[in-house]
Amino acid sequence: MKREILENYVGKKVRVVFFDDDEAGGVLQRGNDLFTSPKKYYYIKYLWGNHFANGVFFVLSHIKKIEEIK
């Protein structure tokens, strides 16, 4: 996957499948609310009902598949 494609999903609700077939769903962003990570790191803020919970950090190479969810 190219970084330009991933950048189109920043700020949107997504479901990501990682290289080890683990999955995460939530809002894709760079960094989190506490700090901004270097550009190459991404963060999924988990959705828990209508609330957000802690998420997961990862880099582009960890992504196997990504799709936008409604």
The pLDDT score that the predictor gives to residue 70 is 84
Residue 9: the pLDDT is: 95
pLDDT given at position 63: 95
So what's the pLDDT on residue 52? Answer: 62
Query: How far is residue 40's CA from residue 65's CA, in Å, rounded to a whole number?
Result: 17
Q: Residue 56: which residues within 8 A CB-CB, separation 6 or more?
A: 24, 43, 44, 46
Domains of the chain by start residue, with CATH? 3-68 (2.30.30.100)
The Cα–Cα gap between 25 and 38 comes to: 21
**Residue 53: what pLDDT?**
65
Convert the pLDDT of each residue in 18-64 to its tens digit: 999 998 888 898 875 566 656 678 888 876 666 566 678 888 999 99
